[in-house]
Amino acid sequence: MEMPTAENPVVVHNGDCLDLLRRLPDGCVDAVITDPPYSSGGFTRSDKAAPVAEKYQQNGTERQYAGFSGDNRDSRSWSYWCCLWLSECQRIAKPGGYCLLFTDWRQLPATTDAIQGGGWIWRGLVPWDKGLAARAPHKGYFRHQCEYVVWGTNGACDVPPNDDPRGGPWAGCFQVPVVQSDKHHLTGKPTELMRQLVKVVPLGGVVLDPFAGSGTTGAAAVIEGRRAILIEKEPVYVDVTRRRIAKASGAGSLFAGATN
Amino acid sequence: MEMPTAENPVVVHNGDCLDLLRRLPDGCVDAVITDPPYSSGGFTRSDKAAPVAEKYQQNGTERQYAGFSGDNRDSRSWSYWCCLWLSECQRIAKPGGYCLLFTDWRQLPATTDAIQGGGWIWRGLVPWDKGLAARAPHKGYFRHQCEYVVWGTNGACDVPPNDDPRGGPWAGCFQVPVVQSDKHHLTGKPTELMRQLVKVVPLGGVVLDPFAGSGTTGAAAVIEGRRAILIEKEPVYVDVTRRRIAKASGAGSLFAGATN
DNA sequence: TGTAGGTATGAATCCGACT
DNA sequence: AAGTCGGATTCATACCTAC
């Protein structure tokens, strides 16, 4: 499979995550950073089978996003499927490499099970606080204004603590509001947030995102001077991603801000 | 058992949580708000058997706290024990009443299991962001700067949505720094944080805290014009709590700030 | 370019009506 | 019928438009 280079730092593959992951060689990426389908909307089979826009967008919303697939598993199948692709990712990651998974409050416990089931060492939890605008408020509720990054490593980092080459420590809670003009997918994340996350790999390092969506992980990697392998099932989002990456690569001035 | 009144809004009981909970009548409290022992300070049995000050305080820490008990269970026993006292709490709570449980990242999945195992409906997750001062940073790590409130309700609120008497919506992420002078227990929470949490019950409502520690939940309840039933096993912390409650009750000016 | 005011939005949730 | 569907609801913020 084609790998990213210094000249062409982002490679976008169109196809099924598990199928394409199996073709990647061992130990070729520094981190897996991704936002898998949560399968958390709806309790019944038909609820889950509904198009994602019906599940996650409120009635009367003008803005339209293309649908995405893979969001219709029940809880046991979801966990099983996550273990499959997470073990594959572990094989592809270097020893000591990182795994960062987005999840919502409802799927958080299943996600911490899945990352460990996939062979990673679970190391912690980082909330992403979207702010007070995030969600329709209901009386008697605490706002659901956070999503969560479940993170772990592929084994331990085997260097003496005194000359640990890793960066950080990084923030343990991100306050980043959602900006609509920066959102190209129903579940798109702010570029600013992803720019902070890709810093877990060193400059020039490689990030793998098997559920790339509109490609924010790849755009952030380019801006921060990292490389990325992206996998996305929906052709329409592969196109969106290629356009965004081309734009981010052209914006040479942004490279100036890249730091370790 | 003695119950809190308008004149004497906080009752402190000294003894074992399960034993005392069994003596409280059905449906007598509006919310359970507590910070149970996490049992997450070590992985091995011998780690867990160490005195708490060794587990949670770093070498050279000046401030000393009295030990606390109930923090030496393995993970299965901890879950089982949580289900026991959480079911008892559910019986004691009014229909539609709240349960708010503090936990750390490591015990979060077990806590969401436990609250549901205890018969509550799990409704969400609220991070408490302690800020950057929280912990000594390590390279290659995201800071562990948050604890979490796992919250649920005792069944649904059975009033029509249009005249829902409940307050809120409340913030879905609390940014409250730890103030040493406001910390009277190794795991003590800021009074400011607890003041926000006790607002889930209406003015004059009753909060139950079966692991009261230094009594911050009770102090916050008094300040916010709520009542509280506190249970604490260690006599030394019962004394600390009684002194704090007396002080908070005397500070009449603080009552003026109480809101619904 | 700056400020003010109107509008669109949300990885939801609820309840009642229906099959 | 330990089911399914659809409409109404909510408000802080970002964004857009007008002046």
Q: Model confidence over B38-73: pLDDT tens digits?
A: 877 554 444 555 556 555 555 444 455 666 666 778
CB B191 within 8 A of CB B212: no
With beta carbons less than 8 A apart as the criterion, state whether B180 and B133 touch.
no
Would you say how long chain A is, in residues?
A: 260
**Nearest Cβ partner of A140 from B149, B157, B172?**
B157
pLDDT tens digits, residue range B199-235? 999 999 999 999 999 999 999 999 999 999 999 999 9
**For A40-54, B61-75, B110-124, B147-161, which range has the lowest pLDDT when averaged over its residues?**
B61-75
Per-residue pLDDT tens digits of chain A, which is 260 residues long: 899 999 999 999 999 999 999 999 999 999 999 999 998 876 666 677 787 888 888 777 778 888 888 888 888 899 999 999 999 999 999 999 999 999 999 999 999 999 999 999 999 999 999 998 777 678 999 999 999 999 999 999 988 888 899 998 999 999 999 998 999 999 999 999 999 999 999 999 999 999 999 999 999 999 999 999 999 999 999 999 999 999 999 865 444 456 66
Give the pLDDT score at A254: 44
Residue/partner pairs of B214-217 with CB below 8 Å, 24 or more apart = B214/B184, B214/B185, B214/B188, B214/B240, B214/B241, B214/B244, B215/B10, B215/B12, B215/B184, B215/B240, B215/B241, B215/B242, B215/B244, B215/B245, B216/B184, B216/B185, B216/B188, B216/B189, B216/B190, B216/B191, B216/B244, B217/B33, B217/B34
**What gap in Å lies between CA B18 and CA B28, rounded to an integer?**
16
Mean pLDDT score of chain B: 88
Distance CA A112, CA A148 (A): 11
Q: Other C-beta atoms within 10 Å of A39: how many?
A: 22
Strand C contacted by A214 CB (< 7 A): no
Q: Supply the pLDDT for residue B65.
A: 67
* Residues B241-254, mean pLDDT to the nearest whole number: 81
A53 nearest nucleotide via C1' and CA: C11
What three-state secondary structure class fits B172?
coil
pTM: 0.93
State the DSSP H helix or E strand holding residue A52, giving kind and residue range, or none if neither: helix A52-56
Lowest mean per-residue pLDDT among B40-54, B93-107, B242-256: B40-54
Nearest to A172 among B144, B161, B171 (CB): B144
pLDDT score for B61: 45
Region of A131 please: left (phi>0), alpha (psi -120 to 50) or beta. left
Beta-carbon separation of A127 and B143 below 8 A: no
Strand C contact at CB of residue A88, distance < 7 A: no
What is the chain B residue with the closest CA to A141?
B169
Alpha-helical segments (H) within A67-208:
75-92, 108-117, 191-197
Q: Can you tell me which residue has its alpha carbon closest to the C1' of nucleotide C10? A: A135
Residue of A130, A142, A193 to mutate, interface with B, max B Cβ within 10 Å: A142
Q: Residue A163 has which token pair?
A: 């000359």
- Specify the residue for token string 């592929």: A154
Query: Which residue's CA lies closest to nucleotide C12 at its C1' atom?
Result: A136
Q: How many CB atoms lie under 10 A from the CB of residue B254?
A: 16
DSSP helix/strand/coil, B160: coil
Across the interface, of B126, B145, B164, the residue whose CB is closest to A172 is B145
Alpha-carbon gap, residue B78 to B230, rounded angstroms: 21
| Contact check, Cβ <8 Å, B166/A113 | no
Residue B136 has pLDDT above 80, yes or no: no
A51 is near strand D: CB distance < 7 Å? no
What is the Cα Rg of chain A in Å? 18
**Please, which pLDDT band fits residue B164 given cuts at 50, 70 and 90?**
confident
